[in-house]
Amino acid sequence: MNEVVAHRPKIQGIIKGLTGSPNEDLEQDVYVKIYTHLPTQYQEKGTLSAWIKTIAANVCRDYMKSSRYKADLKKQEWDESASLPVCIQTPEDVLTTKERQRLVLAAVDRLPKALKKTIELYEFESFSYDEIATRMRVPVGTVRSRLFQARRILSIQLQQLKGK
């Protein structure tokens, strides 16, 4: 079980990367899933690290789809609005960090399946090219090509976030 604790920084990084902030509740959910499923579901076909990263990413995705996320988001907006002085908002202020994340995740979801999986593994789960190639059973060159294609498509789809 000490092996799982060694992955804490990676788990925290995935949670922060996908949700935009550290979240101890999600981290706890990840550990609970790992400990309950480790004896029955982990198969030594891949690395323990990859399995843990996948669980962390899935917990985050489930959270982002949940009503709990929407309630947390509303609470955060309420807390921020109560503590901020009234001022004129610029277009940048209107497009909040959470909205940007929602737009990026929606754009990633629209990618073709192979590109989506590759970009998720690399950007959200911090897999290396070699780890992705092994997991997806493709050459490393294919991984590089898919990442390039996915980034190109995302760049076009997310043009409005760049401020044109």
* Higher-scoring residue by pLDDT: 25, 99: 25
> Which of 21, 55, 87 marks a domain boundary?
87
Using CA atoms, how far residue 26 sits from 39, 71, 103, 116, 126, in Å, is: 21, 15, 21, 23, 18
pTM of structure = 0.49
- In this structure, the answer to whether residues 119 and 73 fall within a common structural domain is no
> Whole domain around residue 161: which residue ranges?
89-164
Residues 36 and 102 in one domain: no
Q: Are residues 101 and 121 in the same domain?
A: yes
**What are the pLDDT digits (tens) for 94-130?**
456 677 777 888 888 899 999 999 998 888 878 889 9
pLDDT band at 137 (very low <50, low <70, confident <90, very high): very high
Burial class (CB in 10 A: 0-12, 13-18, 19+), 39: exposed
Co-location of 102 and 41 in the same domain: no
Residue 114's CATH number: 1.10.10.10
Specify whether 10 is located in the same domain as 71.
yes
In a shared domain, residues 83 and 99: no
Q: Model confidence over 37-88: pLDDT tens digits?
A: 776 666 666 677 888 888 888 888 888 777 766 666 666 655 555 554 545 5
Q: Are 60 and 127 contained in the same domain? A: no
Same domain, 83 and 109: no
Tell me the CATH number at 69: 1.10.1740
One domain, residues 80 and 114: no
